[in-house]
Amino acid sequence: MSISEIIAADGLAATAPRRHRAVAALPTLPVVASGQLWLVELAVAGALSASARHVMDGANVVIYDRALADAVAGSLPLGGYAEPAAAQDATASRCVRFARDGWSVARLLPARLAQRERTRRVQDIVDELAAAKVAGRLPVTILAAGADGIEERLEARFDDLAAIVASYPRDTLLAIVIDAFGGGAAAPLQAVAANGLAG
């Protein structure tokens, strides 16, 4: 079943997120909302996937690996803010801090990482969120697009995330939506930067 068929069957409706500029959601993707953390894999070269384009257009903050700098520079909307990732543990902490402060955050990862590296990066985010007291039963959404183009949407629990990610083959592009801080009150948003790439 495709993502659009699942959404139609579930009767999911896109709603404007609180404390976030209005972003029209693609019919097959969740709305990018305040307090969310999106982990999105994208190819170093080539066109952005639908999920990467969607989150780039909607996220307040984009944090990317330097290998993806050209893709980000060519796709960042006017007024968007992006910065290159630092050391992985510092990057995971920074992503979680932005989300906890009420921003929508996109963490862009290069596609086809070695399975061990891919799982470690997701586990670093899971560990940081757990340290921020995110409940293990929190639902997360995993969107997967394989080399054959088949899309899959999986609803899972936050505490199962790293194990589920490890079960996907390297050639499957993943987009993971963690609505870690969207349900509670967050600090008022403050400007990070007027425009452009940092670093």
Question: What is the average pLDDT value for the chain, to the nearest integer?
Answer: 79
Cα→Cα distances 31→12, 25, 54, 136, 168, Å: 11, 5, 9, 22, 24
Could you give the number of structural domains in the chain? Answer: 1
Say if 188 falls within a structural domain.
no
Give the contacts of 89 (CB within 8 A, at least 6 positions apart).
124
Helix (H) or strand (E) holding 92: helix 88-100
Classify residue 185: in a domain, yes or no. Answer: no
In a domain, 167, yes or no: yes
How confident is the model over 150-185, as pLDDT tens digits?
A: 788 899 999 899 999 999 998 899 999 999 998 643
Q: Does residue 196 form part of some domain?
A: no
Structural contact between residues 195 and 79, judged by C-beta atoms closer than 8 angstroms:
yes
**E-state strands within 18-172:** 37-42, 61-64, 81-84, 105-110, 139-145, 151-157
Say if 195 falls within a structural domain: no
The closest of 196, 37, 193 to 129, measured between CA atoms, is 37
Q: Is residue 112 part of a domain?
A: yes
SS3 at position 63: strand
Q: What CATH number is attached to the domain comprising 129?
A: 3.40.1010.10
- 140: helix, coil or strand? strand
Higher pLDDT among residues 14 and 123, named by residue: 123
d(CA 161, CA 41): 15
Q: How far apart are CA 97 and CA 94, in angstroms?
A: 5
Global pTM value = 0.76
Higher pLDDT, 48 or 104: 104
pLDDT digits (tens, 9 = 90+) for 63-100: 999 999 998 988 888 888 999 998 877 999 999 999 99
Of the candidates 102, 66, 101, 116, the one whose C-alpha atom is nearest the C-alpha of residue 87 is 66
Would you state the pLDDT for residue 28?
67
In a domain, 35, yes or no: yes
- Strands (E) located in 56-127: 61-64, 81-84, 105-110
In a domain, 17, yes or no: no
The domain of 49 spans 3-12+27-180
